[in-house]
Structure 1
Amino acid sequence: MKVLLASPNFHQARGNTVTVQRISDGLNKLGIETEIINITDGSKLSSLPKADIVHGFNAYRFGQFIKKLGEIPERYVVTMTGTDLNIDLHDPVKKTEVIQTIINAEAIHVFDEEAKLVLAGEVPEAKDKISVIHQGTVIFSKAGADYKKEHGTFLFLLPAGIRKVKNIPFAIEKLKMLYEKKYPRIRLWLVGPIIEEEEGNFVKTLTEKNKEWVQYLGQIPHHHMGELYRQADAVLNTSHSEGQPAAILEAMGYSLPVLAANNLGNRNIISHQETGLIYTNPVEFLDYADKLVNNNELRIKLGHAAKLYVEGSHSSEYEAKTLQNIYETILEKSPSKH
């Protein structure tokens, strides 16, 4: 079996890229051939490479791509990655495209039960095609990259592509209050590609103004992320909207406590005060960040529970095997017409 994985922005180190590469690796281990194509940013493809099944990521982006090609794949699966479910599906301009892509799909993959409920509510005719598969996660082997935090500091790590929805300035502005009033040992590392230029410039300016304690490390190869998790004391997610953030799962796999915004994707992997902390407003963010800095026992407890949760619920082997079952079911029901 050959599966064509169609990913938006595959050239950038961001969530979809991590997800698609991990799924590709998992399928390869099961003996399934995969090919990954980039479907955004001036993709030069004029037709789809041959494959038994096409698996598109992000219903809106994938729908736009196949419309531009003028070629609907004979059989395709689509993964709702976050923005398509939480934003595009409710956007009057983009909604039709998302729904059309979903209706034409043989199967739809979402990351959690709440996402399935939202999608089934919006597109009832697709209800029976929706499968819930939690994202798998990986632990990185030690890479050659050498990232060292300053001795005696407390390091918050915020991994995210720089765009407005990720709300990165919020993290800088709020942590600055703790840094100035209480904890001069706080440090913040930002890591990820600049996706929106205007937001990138704004974040860089803010970082420069706070260079004593904030660093923007830029885009780094994904396999070097393990080094950053090993240095960090806590990981942040301040995003307005998430599908199921791979970076948070990775951090949890490293026994790191996570402080995350109250959005659908974060809520579905973090149990508040059990496997991490969820904040709803700036006051809670400051309160929980403060607790993480000064309560070693809390950090250890949350980090330990987070690691156990990821090991039990986010196996990349299970993810690949379940997708294989979906593909095989589709191919049995709809053998090739060629």
Structure 2
Amino acid sequence: MRLLFLAVLRPHTGNAVTAQRVRAHLEAAGHVCVLKDAFDFESPSEIANLILAENFEAALALHLYRGGRLLQGHRIPFGVIFGGTDVNEDANQRDKNTVMGRVLEEARFAVAFTESMKEMAHAQWPHAKGKIYVQSQGIATTPNAAFNWNTFLQRSEINQSADNLHIFLLICGLRQVKDPLYLVDAFSEWHQEEPNVYLVIVGPEVDPVFTREVKAKVKRSPGVRLIGEMPQEDLHAVVKNCFVVVNSSVSEGMSAAILEAMDLEVPVLARNIPGNAAVVKHEVTGLLFSNPQVLVLSAKRQNDRIAYSCLGA
């Protein structure tokens, strides 16, 4: 089958990574899957021309609003995959909610990464009940065996001689929905009490205006470091060497960073939001926190035992 796959392909975002993985699986199953950036199209009419020119037999969209709305009104069957912000954020805007409801009316099926996301979608669009299925994401980790951890610490201006160095790693694109500044003050204060503690934020500069705000805040925050985007294999090596992976997002569909940390057997501390709570079972597979003070207090109390607690040992 010849498939059109629409997704937002902004580099290094979760949706872009997920789209590439879905395409790979579809092609491995013998289909031709043409992946297109939804942001390259403004209306369904442009997609109609593309469908005709490329002779597509069916279509798939990742993100109910950004991709799904472009597939309305065509004769070919299509399905949608919820991206996270569509259900968690866009559904709260009346105009977008209406559009997404119409997309679900026309879609043959919809896929949610978690049961909680499915339930939220059912609450917003009751007419879609019966066509929403849950399929969790799959991940693969490939740490660079040649990665030099000490060189990374040196480049990050982290004191390698500190006893019992604790690197808390936050992986995210610099945009507001990831809320990377949420933990900065708490970790900076903790670092000044215990110089072996660092918060390292790693990720691409997605939102230029917000990036400037993050850089300014980090610059005046002792113990907090900001690192630009890295090749995936190097990033996985950093994850494998860090003390804990943290997630501070306001909204998540299913965090690939959390899944990859778990795959590498690295402890996880995640903000208590539905997307994270669907993945992290508190005090079994990780710790959920409701504010920065709770996170730091919990980590201080457990100290080295935090790694064992997060891994369910």
Please report the TM-score for the alignment, with normalisation by the length of structure 1: 0.80
Which sections of structure 1, spanning at least 5 residues, go unmatched?
Answer: 306-338
Q: Given the alignment, which residue of 278, 281, 293 partners 1:271? A: 281
Distance 1:146 1:12 in 2: 25
- Residue 4 of structure 1 aligns with an amino acid whose one-letter code is L
1:304 Cα deviation (Å)? 6.2
Partner of 1:185: 196
Contact kept, 8 Å, 1:179 with 1:186, in 2: the verdict is yes
Matches within 5 A, 1:295-334: 295=304, 297-303=305-311
Deviation, 1:142, is 2.4
Describe how 1:241-280 pairs up with structure 2 within 5 A. Answer: 241-280=251-290
Distance 1:123 1:55 in 2: 19
**CA–CA separation in structure 1 for the residues paired with 2:170 and 2:40:** 25
Partner Cα separation in structure 1 for residue 231 and residue 99 of structure 2: 33
CA contact (8 A) 1:86 1:241 kept: yes
Q: Distance in 2 between matches of 1:240 and 1:65?
A: 27
CA offset at residue 143 of structure 1? 6.5
Aligned to 1:171: 183
User: Which amino acid is 2:294 matched to?
Assistant: E
Provide the secondary structure at the position in 1 that maps to 2:50. coil
- Residues 137 and 173 (structure 1), Cα distance of their counterparts in 2 relative to 1, 3 Å cut: same
Deviates more, 1:212-221 or 1:235-244: 212-221
Q: Quick one: distance in 2 between partners of 1:259 and 1:97?
A: 35
Q: Does 1:161 pair with 2:136?
A: no
Is 1:209 equivalent to 2:208 in the alignment? no
Deviation at 1:144, TM superposition (A): 6.0
Number of the residue aligned with 1:58: 63
Q: For 1:79, give the aligned amino acid.
A: I
What is the alpha-carbon distance in structure 2 between the residues aligned to residue 34 and residue 101 of structure 1? 21
The worse-fitting range, judged by mean Cα deviation, of 136-145 and 84-93 is 136-145
Which of 291, 295, 308 is matched with 1:281 structurally? 291
User: Matched residue of 1:94: which SS?
Assistant: helix
Instruction: Give, in angstroms, the shift of residue 133 of structure 1.
Output: 0.4
Q: Which moved more, 1:186-195 or 1:274-283?
A: 186-195
1:224 and 2:227 matched: no
Gaps of 5+ in 2: none
Q: What residue number does 2:206 align with? A: 195
Structure 1, 265-274 or 137-146: larger mean CA deviation: 137-146
Aligned length: 297
- For 1:92-131, what aligned pairs fall within 5 Å after superposition? 92-131=94-133
What is aligned with 2:7? Answer: 7
SS of structure 2 residue aligned to 1:116: helix
Q: Deviations over 1:185-222 (max 9, x none)?
A: 11222122222222111101112223x53222222233
State the Cα RMSD in Å: 2.3
1:141 CA drift (Å)? 4.9
Q: Quote the Cα distance in structure 2 between the aligned partners of 1:225 and 1:72.
A: 41
For residues 39-54 of structure 1, the aligned pairs below 5 Å read 39-40=38-39, 47-48=50-51, 49-54=54-59
Report 1 or 2 for greater relative contact order, CA contacts < 8 Å, sequence distance ≥ 6. Answer: 1
> In the aligned structure 1, how far is the partner of 2:62 from the partner of 2:253?
12
Moved more, 263-272 or 197-206: 197-206
In the superposition, the TM-score normalised over structure 2's length comes to 0.86
Q: Is the 8 A contact 1:60 1:84 kept in 2?
A: yes
Residues 142-165 of structure 1 show CA distances to partners (whole Å, capped at 9, x for unaligned) of: 276655335342111111111112
Deviation at 1:176, TM superposition (A): 0.9
Compared with structure 1, are the counterparts of its residues 42 and 221 closer, same or farther at alpha carbon in structure 2 (3 Å cutoff)? farther
Task: Supply the distance in 2 between the matched residues of 1:99 and 1:34 (Cα, whole angstroms).
Answer: 26
SS state of the match for residue 35, structure 1?
strand
Aligned to 2:248: 238
Aligned letter for 1:209? Answer: R
In structure 2, the CA distance between the partners of 1:169 and 1:253, relative to structure 1 (3 Å rule), is same
CA distance in 2, matches of 1:288, 1:279: 9
Aligned to 1:324: none
Q: How does 1:31-42 map to 2 (within 5 A)?
A: 31-40=30-39
Asked if structure 1 preserves the Cα contact closer than 8 Å seen for 2:143 and 2:237, the reply is: no
Taking structure 1 as reference, are residues 76 and 284 closer, same or farther at Cα in structure 2, changes over 3 Å only?
same
